[in-house]
Amino acid sequence: MNINLSKKNAVVCGSTRGIGKAAALELAANGANVTLLSRNEIMLKGVIKELSNDGSQKHGFIAVDFSHPQKLKEKIKRFAGNNPPVHILVNNTGGPKPGEIVNADISEFRMAFEQHLICNHILVQALIPGMKKEKYGRIINIISTSVKEPIDRLGVSNTIRAAVASWAKTLSFELGSYGITVNNVLPGSTKTDRLTSIIESVSKTYGISVKDAEKDWLSKVPAARFGEPGELAGVIAFLASPASSYINGVSLAVDGGRTRSI
C-alpha cells in the first residue's frame, strides 16, 4: 500500500493541538512538507519543532484567526502565489460552544458558519488551482459524527457540521475528474479539549459530577474507551495518500462504533 507522502505539500488547519496537531505530525512522519495553520504563533513555532524531518522536508506555518475570513483569504492567496502547489488540505477548526439550539443566538450561527464553511471554502478556492496543475489533490474535512446523528446539546454544531458535509459532497462531484478527492473524517469521542468542554457542559446542565458525566458519555461507545488523536491522524494520512485515490465524497466515522446509523 502506497502511503508515502514524500514531495507532497500539506496545509493542516487547527494544528497546534488535538486532532489537527496529530494529523500534522503523522503527515510529516510519512514524508510530507507541512504548513501549519492556526492563530497562535508561539504554539505554531513549538509544533514546527516536533515535526519529523528527513533533511529534505520543508515545514512552515501561517498564523491567522478564522474569526477574520478576509485576513485568511489574503494570507492564503499570498501563500499560494509564493510557494509550490499544495497537494493536501486538512480543514479543521474548533467547534461551536455546546448548548441547546433553542437558546442559541443568531450570531452564534453566523460565526460558526464563517469559521467552518466560509473559511474552508476560502482555502479550497486558493489551493485548487495548484492541485489541478499537479493532478493530485486531497481535501480532508474534520467534521463530526453529528452529520449522521445529531448530538444532544450541540445545536449550532449539528447545524453547521451538516452544512460543511453537504458542501464537501458537492465539491467531490466537481473535482473528482481532476484527480482531487474530497472526504470527511467524523471524529467520535476523542481525547481533546473539545470533548472535555462538552463533558463539563453536560455536568453543569444536569447537576452531576464531571466523573459521572464522563462515565455516561463513555457508556455509549462500544469500544469502551475514548479515541486518541493519533488514531484519527492515521485515517487522515491514509486519505491523503495515493492509496486512497478511488475514495471520494465519503464521510467516515472514526468513533469506536458509537454512531448507530449504517
Transcribe 64-114 into DSSP letters. Answer: --TT-HHHHHHHHHHHHHHSPPP-EEEE--PPPPPB-GGG--HHHHHHHHI
Query: pLDDT tens digits, the chain, 262 residues: what are they?
Result: 889 999 999 999 999 999 999 999 999 999 999 999 999 999 999 999 999 999 999 999 999 999 999 999 999 999 999 999 999 999 999 889 899 999 999 999 999 999 999 999 999 999 999 999 999 999 999 999 999 999 999 999 999 999 999 999 999 999 999 999 999 999 999 999 889 988 998 898 889 999 999 999 999 999 999 999 999 999 999 999 999 999 999 999 999 999 999 8
Rg of the Cα atoms in the chain: 18
Provide the terminal-to-terminal Cα distance of the chain, rounded to the nearest Å: 27
pLDDT at 1: 85
Q: For residues 210 and 106, state if they share a domain.
A: no
Hey, what's the cell of 241? 495518500
Task: Based on the fold, state whether residues 133 and 195 are members of the same structural domain.
Answer: no
Domain assignment present for residue 82? The answer is yes
* Whether residue 86 is found in the same domain as residue 178: yes
Assess if residue 165 is contained within a domain: yes
Q: Please state, in angstroms and rounded to a whole number, the distance separating the CA atoms of residues 92 and 2.
A: 25
Is 203 in the same domain as 87?
A: no
**Considering the entire predicted model, what is its pTM?**
0.96
219 shares its domain with 197 = yes
Which domain does 122 fall in, by range?
9-188+229-253
H or E element at residue 137: strand 137-142
Residue 164 sits in the same domain as residue 201: no
Q: What is the pLDDT of residue 202?
A: 86
Q: Are residues 236 and 207 in the same domain?
A: no
In a domain, 258, yes or no: no
Residues linked to residue 161 through DSSP beta bridges, in sequence order: none
On whether both 135 and 242 belong to a single domain, the answer is yes
In a domain, 203, yes or no: yes
**Sign of the torsion formed by the C-alpha atoms of 24, 92, 9 and 242:** positive
Number of domains in the chain: 2
Tell me the CB-side half-sphere exposure of residue 51, using CA atoms within 13 A: 31
Q: Are 205 and 77 part of one and the same domain?
A: no
Regarding whether 132 and 48 lie in a shared domain, the answer is yes
| pLDDT at position 2 | 83
3, part of any domain: no
The CATH number covering residue 134 comes to 3.40.50.720
Q: Does residue 114 form part of some domain?
A: yes
pLDDT of residue 212: 92
* Residues 212 and 163 reside in one and the same domain: no
Residue 244 shares a structural domain with residue 121: yes
pLDDT at residue 115 in the model: 96
Is 242 within a domain? yes
1 is a domain residue: no
